[in-house]
Amino acid sequence: MDLEFTGELWFWKGPAPWHFITVPEQECGELGAASSAVTYGWGMIPVTARVGATAWRTSLFPKDGRYLVPVRAGVRQAEGIEVGDAVTVHLSVDV
C-alpha cells in the first residue's frame, strides 16, 4: 500500500520531544484497515516514509484515532523543513 498526503510538521514537547506530521483522516482509514495485517504491537505500523529525496524506515504512532509520522532531525535538516511547514509525505506499507 502506498499513500501520499500533505500535512504540517509540528513539535511535541513531551518527556521525549519529537517532531511529527499527522496523517489526514482519509488516509488513516486506509491504514487502519491494513493495520491488523502489519502492526507489531500497540497499533504501530512499520513504513518506509519519504519527504522530498529523503527516505527512512519508521513506524506510525496511533493517536486519537489518527496516525503520526515521526520525522527525524536528519530528515528535517536534509529537506530544510521546520515546524509549521506543509510537507508532502509518501508512505509505503508492506501489506
Calculate the alpha carbon distances from 62 to 17, 53, 68, 77 in Å.
17, 26, 6, 25
Quote the DSSP letter at residue 24.
P
Supply the pTM of this predicted model: 0.89
Kindly tell me if the per-residue pLDDT of 95 is higher than 70: no
Q: Which of 8, 2, 12 is nearest to 61 (CA)?
A: 12
For 32-80, the pLDDT digits (tens) are 887 878 877 778 999 999 999 999 999 999 999 999 999 999 999 999 9
Q: Which residues are CB-contacts of 10 (< 8 A; sequence separation ≥ 6)?
A: 19, 20, 21, 22, 83, 84
Question: What average pLDDT does the segment 3-24 reach?
Answer: 94
CB-based burial label for 9 (10 Å; 0-12, 13-18, 19+): buried
Residue 36, pLDDT score: 79
Say whether domain 2-92 belongs to CATH 2.40.30.100.
Answer: yes
Q: How confident is the model at residue 8 (pLDDT cuts 50, 70, 90)?
A: very high
